[in-house]
Amino acid sequence: MSEQIKVAQQEDEISLKELMQKAREWWQYLLSKWIIILVFGLGGAAVGLVVALMAKPKYTAHLSFALVEKSAGGGGLADLASSFGISGLMGGGSSGTFSGDNLLEIIQSRHSVEQTLLSSVDYYGKKQNLVEVYAQVNELKDGWKEQTKNPELQKLTFPIGQNRETFTRTQDSVLFSIYSAIVKSNALTVARKDKKLSLVNLDFVSKDELFAKLFVETLMKETYQFYSDTRTAQSRANIKMMEAKADSVKRLYESSLYKGASFSQVNINPALQVAAVPGLKQQNNAQLYATIYTEVLKNLESLKLDMARETPIVQIVDTPRFPLEKEKLSKVKAVATGGILGGFLIVFYLLGTLFLKNAMKD
């Protein structure tokens, strides 16, 4: 048994010696090729320097906000809804769907991003959609012109104010591809600074400083408008219904006043007292309609107050201001990375060729 152990130890020693010998041979071989390694290292460094000089800087537009959630709760809105038999519609509505972290997903949703891209802005004195600015900044139109298979793409535009429902298939496809590029490249990031806090950070990275600023500001505006409209949709529907009732009661009230006036007489004969009855009825109707109209107006104001309480408030904490945060590839870092990468590549190549030569000899 001890002899077997000794044999195993001797084999391990032989294999270790062989490995060290191989390493020494490889090292000597690489030293003999130091000029080639140096040339490739300097070449990699030169390439890194060129990349650093040609690389365009990236700008980050930062915006932070706090969402103040409000609720109408009970009171006038709930009581009035109950009186009209619509209390079942007032059980919180959309507040549960569009609250908390869901707002972060709304900001990054396809709806919000595409609405932002289709919003018109003033870009260096020219009014155009952000999608047109994006295509210009990222030089997409040059590639579109080369698409001979799709003539529409060669002259594709997104006119300001064009109805979304009238978009062609090509327009829809390009808009979706731009949305996907923004999301997949992580150019747009939305996150809470701390889950215990209500402060949300919104960042967007672009090669164009002005576009980055305009995109973030417009995205925040479009998202808040969509969020607010959704939260107050039921309240606005109730207000619209109450305004229609108020107009109807007002017309009945005015009609009763005119009809009552047509029955009035300055000197009425006692024998004609019966003829005054229709006029008295119209006066009573007018008083009744006046009372109802007053109550409807009070309830309408209550509805508007409740909708104001329901409307969420977004408090902007930080807004993007020039100059934006700039990130550019460092020349020193690019040269060092290129030189090391070039050196490693030629070393691997040289060792690979040496290994193949030895294998062929064996």
In this prediction, residue 147 carries a pLDDT of 79
In this prediction, residue 231 carries a pLDDT of 82
Report the relative pairing of strands 126-129 and 120-123 from DSSP bridges. antiparallel
In this prediction, residue 345 carries a pLDDT of 93
In this prediction, residue 82 carries a pLDDT of 45
What percent of the chain lies above the pLDDT cut of 90?
36
Q: Say how far apart CA 245 and CA 241 lie, in whole Å.
A: 6
Q: What global pTM score does this model have?
A: 0.70
For tokens 């769907």, the residue is: 97
pLDDT tens-digit profile of 327-350?
A: 988 888 988 999 999 999 999 998
| Residue 223 φ/ψ region, left for φ over 0, alpha for ψ in the -120 to 50 degree band, beta for the rest | alpha
In this prediction, residue 259 carries a pLDDT of 72
**Cα separations (Å) of 257 from 9, 225, 245, 247, 277?**
119, 44, 19, 16, 15
In this prediction, residue 315 carries a pLDDT of 87
- Decide if 236 contacts 307 (C-beta within 8 A): yes
In this prediction, residue 94 carries a pLDDT of 44
In this prediction, residue 337 carries a pLDDT of 92
Write down the domain spans for the chain. Answer: 2-55+329-361, 58-232+313-327, 238-310
pLDDT tens-digit profile of 300-320?
A: 898 888 888 887 888 899 999
In this prediction, residue 210 carries a pLDDT of 97
- Decide if 86 contacts 238 (C-beta within 8 A): yes
Those residues of the chain that have pLDDT short of 70 are 1-14, 69-100, 197, 260-280, 362
In this prediction, residue 279 carries a pLDDT of 63
